[in-house]
């Protein structure tokens, strides 16, 4: 579609509403009407009625000091997305069991519109653990979850995912070294790599497979070594727990009892 075609089908009122929502999603504490106008580059009069409608529909809240902030309504709508909701409902108990057995936190990540997104998170049962908020976006290229999501897809799907990732403003590229690593991951059934974001953390990740053998999600334990804590599984035992948990989730997702690759 050409730029002329794009302009022909523009919906200015919708654009204004989306501009407001996207702006407020990226700030804490809200913004005044004047601040919104300045950052969007429009006159306050241009979107006053739109802002009023967003408040009345519950997407935006008016705070003290005449500030406006995003509510949780959009988050709630996202949770109603049937495939994600169903996957999370399947994953709750297995993820809880994994946290109890491994004494580590874990998270479930899917690929969505160019991003690897955390859709469920289970805290570690003890005092110590690494957690990441639901809704957080992680890289495809330097995280265990991203490697899993790319490794267990066809070359054509992988290329499309990377194009969407770049289109969403994320960096990274496919290299021969990374392709070789994906083959290694597929062969053993999991990824184990030092975190590129947090020192001392080893990401242990395995795929939740669909009936076609493709990864529909990645389950990751950000493994930390706990000192003077008896009964905590070592990293090798934890890998087995992660793989067995994803095998269980893959069966629930319809991949069959043979899904996954046993860690060894």
Q: Could you read off the pLDDT tens digit of each residue along the chain, which spans 264 residues?
A: 445 555 666 788 888 889 999 899 888 888 998 999 899 888 878 788 888 899 999 889 988 878 999 887 776 666 556 677 788 888 999 999 999 999 999 999 999 878 889 999 999 887 777 778 888 888 888 899 999 999 999 888 888 888 888 876 677 778 899 999 999 999 999 999 998 887 788 999 999 998 888 999 999 999 988 777 777 889 999 999 999 999 999 998 775 544 444 444
pLDDT of residue 82: 67
Task: Quote the pLDDT of residue 118.
Answer: 93
Question: Global pTM?
Answer: 0.69
Task: Go through the domains of the chain in sequence order and give each one's CATH number.
Answer: 3-71 (1.10.10.10), 81-252 (3.30.450.40)
- What is the model's pLDDT at position 7? 63
| Residues 184, 188: Cα–Cα separation, whole Å | 6
8 A C-beta contact, residue 71 and residue 78:
no
pLDDT at residue 258 in the model:
46
Of 105, 117, 112, nearest in space to 143 by CA: 117
């Amino acid at each position: 579609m050409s730029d002329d075609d794009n302009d022909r089908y523009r919906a200015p009122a919708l654009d204004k509403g989306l501009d407001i929502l996207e702006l407020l999603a990226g700030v804490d504490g809200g913004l005044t009407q004047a601040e919104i106008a300045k950052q969007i580059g429009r006159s306050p009069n241009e979107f006053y009625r739109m802002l009023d409608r967003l408040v009345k529909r519950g997407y935006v809240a008016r705070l003290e000091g005449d500030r406006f902030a995003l509510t949780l309504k959009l988050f709630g709508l996202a949770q109603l997305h049937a495939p994600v909701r169903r996957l999370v409902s399947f994953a709750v108990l297995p993820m809880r069991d994994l946290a109890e057995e491994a004494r580590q936190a874990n998270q479930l990540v899917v690929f969505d519109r160019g991003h690897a997104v955390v859709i469920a998170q289970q805290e570690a049962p003890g005092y110590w653990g690494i957690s990441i908020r639901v809704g957080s976006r992680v890289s495809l290229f330097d995280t265990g979850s991203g490697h899993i999501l790319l490794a267990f897809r066809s070359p054509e799907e992988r290329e499309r995912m990377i194009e969407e990732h770049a289109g969403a403003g994320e960096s990274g590229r496919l290299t021969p070294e990374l392709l070789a690593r994906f083959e290694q991951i597929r062969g053993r059934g999991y990824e184990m790599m030092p975190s590129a974001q947090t020192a001392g953390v080893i990401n242990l990740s395995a795929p939740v497979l669909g009936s076609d053998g493709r990864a529909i999600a990645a389950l990751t334990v950000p493994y930390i070594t706990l000192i003077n804590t008896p009964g905590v599984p070592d990293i090798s035992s934890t890998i087995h727990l992660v793989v067995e948990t994803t095998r269980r989730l893959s069966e629930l997702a319809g991949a069959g009892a043979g899904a996954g690759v046993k860690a060894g």
